[in-house]
Structure 1
Amino acid sequence: MNAVDVVLPCLDEAAALPWVLARIPEGYRAIVVDNGSTDGSPEIAAELGATVVTEPRRGFGAACHAGLEAATAPIVCFCDCDASLDPRLLPTVADPVADGRADLVLGRRRPTSAGAWPVHARLGNLVLSRMIRRRTGVGLHDLGPMRAARRIALLDLGITDRRSGYPLEMVVKAADTGWRVGEIDVPYLPRTGRSKVTGTWKGTWHAVRDMRAVLR
């Protein structure tokens, strides 16, 4: 059995997949969850050795949860599939969970260039981070998409959101359950292709709306 499974939600990421999958650490298994791609992403992922899961229900949370349910390793990581985050850094978020120092670790994104993180997406993240701190008391600065926790514990949280609110509900329920939640700085690179969630003002607004609903 692999020590860690890596859930990679995927929607039309054919251009990024070769780089992403080539950088999955040894002992980690890539689970690419296809969420309706039309560019051959699932075929490319399978050819490159990833486990491919198909999730017909559209939504970031739906893809994440399908990957979590398909995982079998004791620890599960989540990571964007657009080459904005380097999978070689996954041990930095997984190791504190594996050795018992934390229950949930998020990668705090540190942009490597001005274009890596659009202003509207950064502002949306700032608003949500403040809301999280007020709601949970957890001192997070970023709702980072690179994260790690134990698989069974994640399933036991009973996360119900299947849209953009999924990563926030994970943090809120973890905090409410008494988990030790931490964050570690990770470089944030310009993504390959256009973001489906925060690439536009409209996408960012929808994500913030979904997450505010979770907080309510």
Structure 2
Amino acid sequence: MNRPDRSPDVELTILMPCLNEAETLEVCIRKAQGFLAGHGVAGEVLVADNGSQDGSQDLARRLGARVIDVPRKGYGAALIAGIEAASGTYVIMGDADDSYDFTALAPFVERLRSGADLVMGNRFKGGIAPGAMPALHRYLGNPVLSGIGRLFFRPGIGDFHCGLRGFRREAILALGLQTTGMEFASEMVVKATLANLRIVEVPTTLSPDGRSRAPHLRSWHDGWRHLRFLLMFSPRWLFIYPGLFAFLLGTVTTVTLAIGPVKVGAVGFDVTTMIYASALAVIGFQALLFWWLTKLYATAEGFLPASAGYRRLASAWTLERGLIAGLLLFLLGVAIGVSQLVHWGSVDFGRQDAREVVRVAVPSAMTLIIGFQMIMMSFFAAILTVPHRSAAPTATGV
């Protein structure tokens, strides 16, 4: 990694990830240099090259840009390496395809100087030129993914995936960004939001890129990677909300039908519905267990922050309390089953009404399963939270 001796004289690094961008790289570098000179900003242009084979590296060096070679492939990998190598207090990143205007960076610099940690561009407020964004991205991909991001994390921005953004270098490095692909754009916003960084937004424009080849972006593949990342970093939406809905609906339906059949208008609900409802309750309970285990692991490893409410719940839910709750549910299931066996014996183990047998057996089986799962989860959670010391370095002889 090319790590500079950082100088306090460099205020701004304009960072461009690059993979075979010789067609447009020169105009981007000249625009960036023109901005620095025209606005009196002490800065540099840094190109993070991801293995170009069209001479982009030599072109950038001839124009006076600093170039670092990033062997690890991927949009995110190039940007992470560029951020680490940047000399500036602030970094503004943008694609080297001439779709973003590097002469119009003043609003970003102003907001950064005013104390913002992350300044996002908003292409929908600034303007998208005809042909600059495919209709699939403009009317489906970006609005849907940005909407999901706002719903899950509430960062206070409208364009979750704008490639032109500025940030305070040290604040972003402290986030420990890891993703190497296009989902890096989501990771930065999500982790900045979870870390309570100050995020603001400025309008920016998007123009058709100047390349003759197809872009690196793969719509469905990269869209799924963005969505997958958003879900993985929001266990509340991935596990809690659907799990709680399924568990409550399944449990209430099962208990209601255990009393007797229900008729709504011309539609009747009986033991068949009860069986599926109990399965729904078990599925929902499993989702809630996955949330708990995911949260324990993610907070212990530093992937997700721990809220005050979560800390109180984690300290209150001990192994012993989980075992007691699970055992009580398991014994309730056993008791229901035993009562059914006793009733069968009262009729000399003869024939019974099948519907009435199922009406009792289903709640028994459901509580047995949920109780057993809670016992096992409590042990697993205890394993995840066993206090441990970091391994000390092994001494070596000289």
Q: Look up the match of 1:200.
A: none
Which residue, out of 66, 71, 81, partners 2:86? 71
TM-score with structure 2 setting the length: 0.51
Distance 2:80 2:49 in 1: 12
Give yes or no for contact 2:155–2:189 (8 Å, CA) kept in 1: no
Q: Which amino acid aligns with 2:28?
A: V
Shift of 1:116: 0.9
Distance 1:97 1:28 in 2: 14
Distance 2:16 2:61 in 1: 13
Q: Look up the match of 2:391.
A: none
Q: Mark the CA change 1:111 to 1:37 in structure 2 (over 3 Å): closer, same or farther.
A: farther
Shift of 1:65: 0.4
Summarize the alignment of residues 152-167 of structure 1 with structure 2, pairs less than 5 Å apart.
152-167=170-185
Which residue, out of 210, 233, 246, partners 1:192? 210
Q: Which amino acid aligns with 1:12?
A: N
Distance 1:28 1:135 in 2: 36
Q: Which amino acid aligns with 1:48?
A: L
Distance 1:89 1:207 in 2: 28
Shift of 1:139: 3.0
Shift of 1:28: 2.7
Q: Look up the match of 1:106.
A: 120
Between Structure 1 and Structure 2, how many residues are aligned?
A: 210
Summarize the alignment of residues 1-216 of structure 1 with structure 2, pairs less than 5 Å apart.
1-24=9-32, 25-26=35-36, 27-100=42-115, 102-109=116-123, 110-122=126-138, 123-142=140-159, 143-193=161-211, 194-197=214-217, 203-215=218-230, 216=232
Distance 2:120 2:49 in 1: 23
Distance 2:70 2:137 in 1: 26
Distance 1:85 1:58 in 2: 23
Give yes or no for contact 1:111–1:117 (8 Å, CA) kept in 2: no
Shift of 1:37: 1.2
Shift of 1:111: 4.2
Give yes or no for contact 1:9–1:80 (8 Å, CA) kept in 2: yes
**Percent identity of equivalent pairs:** 36
User: Higher helix fraction: Structure 1 or Structure 2?
Assistant: 2
Distance 2:19 2:144 in 1: 26
Please, what is the CA RMSD of the aligned residues?
A: 1.3
Gaps of 5+ in 2: 1-8, 37-41, 233-398
Give yes or no for contact 1:94–1:149 (8 Å, CA) kept in 2: no
Which segments of structure 1 move beyond 6 Å, counting only runs of 4 or more?
Answer: none
Distance 1:159 1:141 in 2: 22
SS at match of 1:49: coil
User: Higher strand fraction: Structure 1 or Structure 2?
Assistant: 1
Farther-moved stretch of structure 1 (146-155 vs 91-100): 91-100
Give yes or no for contact 1:34–1:53 (8 Å, CA) kept in 2: yes
Distance 1:47 1:212 in 2: 40
Q: Which amino acid aligns with 2:119?
A: V
Distance 1:132 1:173 in 2: 12
Deviations along 1:108-139, one digit per CA (max 9) or x if unpaired, are 11444320111122221111100110111123
Deviations along 1:87-124, one digit per CA (max 9) or x if unpaired, are 11122112201121x22111111444320111122221
Structure number with larger C-alpha Rg: 2
Q: Which amino acid aligns with 1:141?
A: G
Distance 1:11 1:5 in 2: 19
Q: Which amino acid aligns with 1:99?
A: S
